Structure 1
Amino acid sequence: MKRALTAFVATAICFSLLDFIWLGTIAFPFYQSEIGPLLLPSPNWTAGLSFYFMYLIGIFYFAVLPGVRAGSALKGLGNGAIFGLMAYGTYDLTNMATLAGWSWTVVFVDMAWGAFATGLTGLVASFATLKLTSSPA
């Protein structure tokens, strides 16, 4: 139980920090220029926090736990990158198929970010959990 809690907390800290930096510095001006008319004046925090909660559970379950159980942070990296690509791809490609004004540039940048951030989170959270704990998840 301690190992699972450590893994989830490490997942939450890592992904939240990465996404905060991404959204707060790099992505906001990019999204403004690419899809500005589609953006709300301010975020819907309930929807956003609901996404984070669900997505953190997904990273934990599909990337970090397999990495910890295999004793391999690289497994967390690979599983996380695949999960991130698939999750962000689902969102972006659905938007590309259904929203006027969504751009292929956003699709590619966002999917790359999803794979990178989720893969890095899988790597770091798996590594931290393996180093900080010694019992099975």
Structure 2
Amino acid sequence: MKKSSDGFLIGRVKSFRYAFKGAFFLITTEHSVITQSLLAVILIISGFLFHITKTEWLFQVLVIGLVLSIEGLNTAVEKLCDFIHSDYHKHIGFIKDIAAGAVTFAALTAVVVILIIYSPYIYEKVI
């Protein structure tokens, strides 16, 4: 909770602390984020093994961040919906489905980008 006596610098430090705390909670408690984080590690290792270009690194890092960010927002929406209405309700289900749909768009975008990046490298190794 922000106090009125907190200065700008102290407020920014506290904000970062809360942000890292939230990221830690996501990575350690949410199975989908754990899975996506492991996939991100595999992609990072693959990037080094295949010596992808700087531009390819940029796109890879962007889609990893995109998927993890949208998944974090999806998790927040789901937790908030569960807090507001713990029993099944069709409107809450609709809201949760929309949030999950946003994750699907991000994940499909990531798959396309990763296929574009790695297909030539894999094709080159196979042929």
Shorter-chain TM-score range:
0.3 to 0.5
TM-score (norm 1): 0.35
- Greater RCO, CA 8 A, separation 6+: 1
TM-score (norm 2): 0.37
Structure label with greater radius of gyration: 2
